A and B are shown apart, each in its own frame.
Chain A
């Protein structure tokens, strides 16, 4: 339900909506995952595969 009577352009008068908006900012902005981490993980996994390709456990990746 839209609780903004006169529009929601950045003005949250409902305390629940205001706190939810601040929480979103905290999670998605202030404490977001560092840029480049996904790429670093993918590189690490590629390296791990290369280092252990003779071990039966890891799958042999292909593109």
Chain B
């Protein structure tokens, strides 16, 4: 069980991962709003990326993030194992994403996003090249299966040291995360290669 290690008396201080989630959930069940706020801050990126990985556009994903947290608030006593909160959120988010039913038919990188990602004031030719590269990257990513998109998003969020959390959350054997990630990356590389123009084209 989690122990309080912080000076502020909050039992989740100093904890990480499942231990942090369990301590916060237990405190939130007891009515501690700070604990719920911490969970929202800690796990909303997870909910966001699962929603996006299941095909929702940004607006629909925001709605789903709100809905999932409201669902947790209503059912906070029904989450069986506090350490499995991340898995519960993933399952609930997938269900809500299906319910939302607003598949992003034209889920493309907008010019605004591409420009923002290109940096503050790069030369115009760099902006164009980077925006095109980002569009290719985005198309390749969107061409992956939902499972690959989810797994790649979550492994980036968690970092390699925390693959075990991703495995637990996705209900996969710990040892399969790395190989599955490699296969998903290989597929993404294929899609990326197919979408990028041949650099030798037009030469000679």
Please, which residues of chain A bring their CB within 8 A of the CB of B44?
33, 37-38, 41
What 0/1 pattern do residues 23 to 63 of A give for CB contact below 8 A with B? 11111111111100110111011101100000001111111
B60 sits at the interface (CB 8 A): no
Which residue of chain A is the closest to B49 with respect to CB atoms? A27
Number of B interface residues at 8 Å Cβ cutoff, please give it. 42
A-B contact count (CB 8 A): 95
Question: Of B31, B40, B69, B157, which contacts A27 at CB under 8 A?
Answer: B157
Give the distance in Å from the alpha carbon of A45 to the alpha carbon of B58 in the complex: 20
Please, which residues of chain B bring their CB within 8 A of the CB of A4?
none
Which residue of chain B is the closest to A15 with respect to CB atoms? B189
Give chain A's interface secondary structure class. helix
Question: Of B31, B113, B185, which contacts A23 at CB under 8 A?
Answer: B185
Give the distance in Å from the alpha carbon of A57 to the alpha carbon of B73 in the complex: 8
* Least Cβ–Cβ distance between A19 and chain B, in angstroms: 6
B117 sits at the interface (CB 8 A): yes
A14 sits at the interface (CB 8 A): no
Please, which residues of chain A bring their CB within 8 A of the CB of B183?
none
- Whether B58 contacts A19 by the Cβ 8 Å rule is no
In the assembled complex, 21 residue pairs joining A and B whose CB atoms fall closer than 8 Å, in A order, are: A15-B189, A16-B185, A20-B185, A22-B137, A24-B156, A25-B117, A26-B134, A26-B137, A27-B156, A29-B117, A31-B49, A32-B45, A34-B58, A38-B44, A41-B44, A44-B66, A45-B36, A45-B73, A49-B73, A59-B28, A61-B33
Please, which residues of chain B bring their CB within 8 A of the CB of A23?
141, 152, 156, 185, 188
Interface residues of B in 61-117 (CB under 8 A from A): 62, 65-66, 69-70, 73-77, 109, 113, 117
- Whether B34 contacts A59 by the Cβ 8 Å rule is no
- Whether A63 contacts B34 by the Cβ 8 Å rule is yes
* Least Cβ–Cβ distance between A37 and chain B, in angstroms: 6
Give the distance in Å from the alpha carbon of A15 to the alpha carbon of B173 in the complex: 27
Please, which residues of chain B bring their CB within 8 A of the CB of A57?
74-75, 77
- Whether A61 contacts B138 by the Cβ 8 Å rule is no
- Whether B31 contacts A62 by the Cβ 8 Å rule is yes
* Least Cβ–Cβ distance between B123 and chain A, in angstroms: 17
